[in-house]
Structure 1
Amino acid sequence: MKLSKCQSLKQVPDMSGAPNLKKLHLDSCKSLVKVHNSVGFLEKLEDLNLNCCTSLMVLPRGINLPSLKTMSLRNCTTLKNFP
C-alpha cells in the first residue's frame, strides 16, 4: 500500500483488517504524527517506509513483525522513541 506524500494524513488508521499487507509506504507524509498500534502486528509486512515523516512522534509500542526485511526511518526528526 502506497500512501506516500499524503500531506493531510495525520494518523495511520487501524490496519488490522489488512493482515496480508506486505508493503506499507508512508514516506514524505509531512503531517503524520502517529502510526496505529495495529501496524506493529502485521505479521506478513516485509517493507515499512516512513522516511521523511518529519512530524512523526509515535511508533507502535509493541512490534511483532516476523517477516519485516526493511524498515526505513530516515529524517524522522521528531520521533521520540523507538520500540
Structure 2
Amino acid sequence: LKKLNLEGSYNLKELPDLSNATNLEMLDLSVCLALAELPSSIKNLHKLDVIYMDLCESLHMIPTNINLASLETMYMTGCPQLKTFPAFSTKIKRLYLVRTGVEEVPASITHCSRLLKIDLSGSRNLKSITHLPSSLQTLDLSSTDIEMIADSCIKDLQRLDHLRLCRCRKLKSLPELPAFL
C-alpha cells in the first residue's frame, strides 16, 4: 500500500496501528473532523513523503518526535485544537500550519536544515518567533497576532526571498532584514 486516502471520513475518531504499512508514501486525512490524534505507530512509516491533515478540527496531538526520514511536506490547515508545534524530521521541506492553535515555534526547528517554507498564516495564538532554520526561503505569518520577530532569526536567513506579514495588526516593529535583500 503506497497511498491511503481517508479524506472526508468525518466520523473517523482514530487510526489503527500503521506499523505494517511500511511502503506508505502518502497519507490523506483531510476533513477527518473527529480525528483527535495520530497513532504513535506513524513513526514507523519511513517512506511517508507527504501527510495531508487539512481541516482535522479535533486534532490536538501529533506524537512527539515522529522523525519520519522521508517526510518532506505536511499540510495541517485549519487544525485549531493543535497548540503544540510538532517535532519533525530534519528532512522536512514544507510545513503548512495555517489557522492552527500553535503558540510557539520551538528552537528545535533550527535543526530542520532542508526546510524551505513555513506557512503559519492565520495562526492567531502565535505571538513571537525567536528561531528559524537558515535554509528558509518563504515565511508566511499573515493574519497572525504576532507581536515580535527576533532580529537574529530573520537577518541571517540568506536564502529568504518571500516574507509575508500582511494583516499582522499587533506587530510592534519590523525585524532587521537580511542585508542582501
TM over 0.5: yes
| Ranges of 4+ aligned residues in structure 1 off by more than 6 Å | none
1:33 equivalent in alignment to 2:36: yes
What's the counterpart of residue 45 of structure 1? 48
Q: Is contact 1:32–1:53 with CA below 8 Å preserved after alignment?
A: yes
What is the CA–CA distance in structure 1 between the aligned matches of 2:49 and 2:58, rounded to whole Å?
A: 24
C-alpha RMSD of the superposition? 1.0
What is the CA–CA distance in structure 2 between the aligned matches of 1:34 and 1:12, rounded to whole Å?
A: 8
What's the counterpart of residue 65 of structure 1? 68
Deviation track 1:26-71 (CA, whole Å, cap 9, x = no partner) reads 0000111010011123100001011110110111112121111211
| TM-score (ref. length: structure 2) | 0.44
Kindly state the Cα deviation for residue 15 of structure 1 after the two structures are TM-superposed. 0.3
What's the counterpart of residue 24 of structure 2? 21
Of 4, 16, 24 in structure 1, the residue corresponding to residue 7 of structure 2 is 4
Of 32, 54, 59 in structure 2, the residue corresponding to residue 56 of structure 1 is 59
What is the CA–CA distance in structure 2 between the aligned matches of 1:13 and 1:71, rounded to whole Å?
A: 20
| Amino acid of the structure 1 residue aligned with 2:79 | C
Gaps of 5+ in 2: 88-181
Q: Work out which of the two has the higher radius of gyration on C-alpha atoms and give 1 or 2.
A: 2
Q: Is contact 1:42–1:64 with CA below 8 Å preserved after alignment?
A: no
What is the CA–CA distance in structure 2 between the aligned matches of 1:72 and 1:46, rounded to whole Å?
A: 12
The number of equivalent residue pairs is 83
The sequence identity of aligned pairs, in percent, is 37
What is the CA–CA distance in structure 1 between the aligned matches of 2:44 and 2:66, rounded to whole Å?
A: 6
Gaps of 5+ in 1: none
What is the CA–CA distance in structure 2 between the aligned matches of 1:31 and 1:39, rounded to whole Å?
A: 18
Question: Could you say which structure has the higher strand fraction?
Answer: 2
